[in-house]
Structure 1
Amino acid sequence: MRLRIFLEPQQGATYEDQLAVARATEELGFDGLFRSDHYLHMGDHTDGLPGPTDAWITLAGLARETSRIRLGTLMTAATFRYPGPLAISVAQVDRMSGGRVEFGFGAGWYEEEHAAYGIPFPITGRERFDRYEEQLDIITGLWGTPVGESFRYEGKHYRLSEGPALPKPEQAPRPPVVIGGTGPKRTPRLAATFADEYNVPFCSLEETGAAFGRTRDAVARSGRTAPMVYSAAQVLCAGRDEAEIARRAERIGRAPEELRANGLAGTPAELVDKIGRFAETGAECLYLQVLDMSDLDHLALVAEQVAPQVG
């Protein structure tokens, strides 16, 4: 099982906070560092200070300050950016990292942050997914167009004239594409068509296994032969004893019992057991959502007492 650290910087973090976690992630042997793509904090336990940071600007900086870990988003919002400029940004960061980027991409959902920053938000889920599917087609098409050839696209929402389809990412033919969510029909189909990895965020073991099954069925129906990676994201709250677990839960505004039920929480032995059960569902990678970035000892505990038993 590959373990990756997953941050939510919109809850309140500077670039320096994220850099410290990235360096610890690399030094402790985790596989990667991923971050959300949001501009507004969520929940009542934080005021979001000092404010949000942009996902791809942050990852560009981290690309130059790390050397081994994979870097990416869970998930870049299709509503935030036009597909052509987004393809350029991701390709550039992939080159800056030496080919370590993974492109997590979603339709966008948090209406309040769009209103807060003047970003248009399609009212219906159907339109958001229509735009999202066209963007997937365009971004992968731009990356996949051979050097020296041009790319053209005629869709309902986006039209691209003959363009050079440059720059190319460092990875060939493209950075891995990660699609997530638990939608019963369209999400599995889009994952089967475009994704290299399918991710289920913050669900129970049973829900995760069911979602994996729907995507496996979509992959089989599509006739694709390329392998699919299956992964899950879970909030992390580990401790050597009950007092440490309770302290970490309190700092993120949660209760230990609730986190044990709905996340990856408990002693190292409990984490090893639950990670094993995720592996039984078919998960090959887990994204550990770390909500308190100041607690680097939290990462060290998992690296020292959990990772060696599940790797």
Structure 2
Amino acid sequence: MDLRIFTEPQQGADYDTLLRVAKATEDLGFDAFFRSDHYLAMGSSDGLPGPTDAWITLAGLARETSRIRLGTLMTAGTFRLPGVLAIQVAQVDRMSGGRIELGLGAGWYAEEHTAYGIPFPKEKFGRLEEQLAIVTGLWGTPVGETFSFDGKFYRLADSPALPKPAQERVPVLIGGLGATRTPRLAARYADEFNIPFASVEDSERQFGRVRAAAEEAGRKPDDLVYSNALVVCVGRDDAEVARRAAAIGREVDELKRNGLAGSPAEVVDKIGRYAETGSSRVYLQILDLDDLEHLELISSQVQSQLG
């Protein structure tokens, strides 16, 4: 089971904070550092000191780290034109020496679009499908050849399809709980399918849909990586768990129902239940980015038991 650190900087974090967490992620033996792609805080957070851009952040971290994978859960399809996104991701992949992964979603948070003057189109899923075709098509075009695309939402003509990523194939992550269109899209384009903040039962059901869609598309279901994203709150005793829950404005019982919370043994046991659904990777949503001792505890007493 791979454990990856997943951050939500729009809730309040600058680049220096993210750099500290990324370096701790690398030093403590975690597999990867991922971040959300949002420009506005959610809930009661004031979001100070303000948003950071996902791909600018990852470009910086690409030069400041050496081992961990880096990526997004999920880049909003509404934020960037697909050709521009393909260039950005390829460049950051080269800057990292081939350690980038692209999570790409349709975009959903209308308020952040309004706040920063970003168009929020009604038809987002169709755009996402074309974006995936364009980004992967640009990367997959042999050097010296051109790429063209004539879709409903985007048109590219005779693109040189440069630059190329350092990796032969940048892993593409698709996720969500949609019952029909999402599994089909994953079967066509995804290297990894991620389920955000869902129960063991819902994860098992959705993984089953994706496996069926992969078979229907002529792919082996096991060609995809299956993963979960879950909030984490671990403590050596009840008082430490309660303190960490209070720091992120959550209740312990709620966290235990909807995430990974409790003692290291409790968390290891619940991760095992997700593993039984076919999940081989968990993105641990870390909401208190100043609590690096939390990462140390997870590394020493949770990750160490998972093999």
What's the TM-score once normalised by structure 2's chain length? 0.99
Q: Do structure 1's residue 15 and structure 2's residue 15 form an aligned pair?
A: yes
Q: Which residue of 1 aligns with 2:230?
A: 234
Aligned counterparts, 1:97-246, within 5 A: 97-123=96-122, 127-172=123-168, 174-225=169-220, 227-246=223-242
Shift of 1:122: 1.1
Shift of 1:281: 0.5
Unaligned 5+ segments in structure 1 are: none
Letter in 2 for 1:29: G
Shift of 1:9: 0.1
Q: Which residue of 1 aligns with 2:31?
A: 31
Which deviations, in whole Å up to 9, do the C-alpha atoms of 1:242-282 show, x marking residues without a partner? 11000000011100000000001010000110011111010
1:301 paired residue among 260, 284, 297: 297
Q: Which residue of 2 aligns with 1:90?
A: 89
Which deviations, in whole Å up to 9, do the C-alpha atoms of 1:93-145 show, x marking residues without a partner? 0000000001000000000000000000012xxx1001110000000000000
Secondary structure, aligned partner of 2:173? strand
Mapped to 2, the partners of 1:84 and 1:9 lie a distance apart of 25
Mapped to 1, the partners of 2:271 and 2:67 lie a distance apart of 24
Which deviations, in whole Å up to 9, do the C-alpha atoms of 1:26-69 show, x marking residues without a partner? 0000000000000000011x210000000000000000000000
Mapped to 2, the partners of 1:207 and 1:82 lie a distance apart of 32
Secondary structure, aligned partner of 2:193? strand
Aligned CA RMSD, in angstroms, stands at 0.7
Mapped to 1, the partners of 2:240 and 2:206 lie a distance apart of 33
Mapped to 2, the partners of 1:85 and 1:102 lie a distance apart of 16
Mapped to 2, the partners of 1:15 and 1:210 lie a distance apart of 37
Q: Which stretches of structure 1, 4 residues or longer, exceed 4 Å deviation after superposition?
A: none
Q: Do structure 1's residue 59 and structure 2's residue 55 form an aligned pair?
A: no
Secondary structure, aligned partner of 2:223? coil
Letter in 1 for 2:243: R
Mapped to 1, the partners of 2:154 and 2:46 lie a distance apart of 37
Mapped to 2, the partners of 1:47 and 1:250 lie a distance apart of 17
Mapped to 2, the partners of 1:164 and 1:307 lie a distance apart of 44
Secondary structure, aligned partner of 1:105? strand
Mapped to 2, the partners of 1:230 and 1:224 lie a distance apart of 14
Task: Give the share of equivalent positions with the same residue, in percent.
Answer: 69
Letter in 1 for 2:288: D
Shift of 1:218: 0.3
Q: Which residue of 1 aligns with 2:78?
A: 79
What's the TM-score once normalised by structure 1's chain length? 0.98
Letter in 2 for 1:102: E
Secondary structure, aligned partner of 2:29? coil
Mapped to 1, the partners of 2:275 and 2:128 lie a distance apart of 30
Secondary structure, aligned partner of 1:34? strand
Q: Do structure 1's residue 270 and structure 2's residue 269 form an aligned pair?
A: no
Q: Which residue of 1 aligns with 2:40?
A: 40
Aligned pairs, how many?
306
Shift of 1:224: 1.5
Mapped to 1, the partners of 2:83 and 2:217 lie a distance apart of 27
Q: Which residue of 2 aligns with 1:6?
A: 6
Mapped to 2, the partners of 1:85 and 1:207 lie a distance apart of 35
Secondary structure, aligned partner of 1:233? strand
